[in-house]
Structure 1
C-alpha cells in the first residue's frame, strides 16, 4: 500500500467525522455520507440489505472514501482519502456499538428512541474497506489564523 501521510491517521480517524463513500454504478458514480469506525487497519461502515451502497459494492467492490476535518475559526483543514476494496460482512454487535457510541454517546439508553427504531434496529450488515492507498493532507495553511500559514 502506498501511503502519503502528512499526519497520524490513527488519531485523526478516532474523531466522529462524516466520511463520503464514492462508488460506481451502471448509471455513473455515486456518493454516500456515512459514519465509520477505523479498526484493524480497515474502515468499517454500517448499513442494511435495503441500502443502495452495499448493493453497488457487491457489484463493484473498488471504492474511495474521503474524510475531512475543517474548522475555519482554528484555520485547520485536514483530509484523509482512502482507495480500497470493500467487502460486505455480517453485523458484529460489539463493533456496531463501538461505531455508534462515537456519534451518539456511550450509553444506548441516551440514544434517541426514534433514531433507534427507524435506523439502528434495521442495521444488518457491515462494510469493511481494506485500503489499497491512503493519502492524508494537512492543508491548514489556508487561513491567517493557522500556525501552518503558507508563505510563498
Structure 2
C-alpha cells in the first residue's frame, strides 16, 4: 500500500483509522462515469483490511464500476475546523458473490455481511435480490485529524 506523503503530522495511526472507520456510518463513493465523476453516499463495513460496500446492481454507480472499477471513498466527520477528521481510501473494487445477492452460501461474504448487519440492521443479515457486494482493498489510505494540528505545530 502506498504511504501518505502529505499531512503526515495530522495523519491517523492505523489503529486510529480502524477505530474511526468502525465509528462512522456513512461513506461517500466516487466513481468514474461516462460523463465525469459520480459521487454517492453509502453504508459500509470495514474489516480491518477491506472496505465492503453493498450497492444496487442496477444503478449508475454499478454501471460506472463495471466500466472502470477504480474508486475513491471518503469517510469524514466534524463541524468546526479543529475537529475535522477523515479517511480517503483509493483502489480498485472487486465484485464478490452473486449479482444481485439473494443469499446463496458464500464463505467470502459471511464476515462482511455480519459486520454490516451488526452495524445497520440489528444483526439480521438481509438479502433483497437487488444489491450486490463490492470489496475495496485500498491501494492508498490518506487520513487527517485536525485535532492534532496544535500538537503538530508545537513539535
What is the Cα-based RMSD across aligned positions, in Å?
2.7
- The runs of at least 4 aligned residues of structure 1 exceeding 3 Å deviation read 147-151
Structure 1 residue runs without a partner (length 5+): 109-115
- For 2:134 and 2:46, the matched residues in 1 are separated by 12
2:90 to 83, 89, 101: 83
Match for 2:115 among 98, 101, 106?
Answer: 98
Please state whether the residue corresponding to 1:105 is helix, strand or coil.
coil
Unaligned stretches of 5+ in structure 2? 5-10, 102-108
Q: Secondary structure at the match of 1:121?
A: coil
C-alpha distance in structure 2 between counterparts of 1:43 and 1:68, whole Å: 15
- Normalising by the residue count of structure 1, what TM-score does the alignment of the two structures yield? 0.74
Equivalent residues, number:
135
2:7 is matched with which residue? none
Q: What's the CA shift for 1:141?
A: 6.0
How far residue 123 of structure 1 moved from its aligned partner, in angstroms, is 4.2
Compare the two structures and name the one with the higher helix fraction.
2
Give the match for residue 65 of structure 1: 73
1:28-39 aligned within 5 A: 28-39=36-47
SS at match of 1:36: strand
- Equivalent-residue separation in structure 1 for 2:121 and 2:24 (angstroms): 9
TM-score by length of 2: 0.73
Change (3 A) 1:14 1:83: same
Q: Shift in Å at residue 139 of structure 1?
A: 1.3
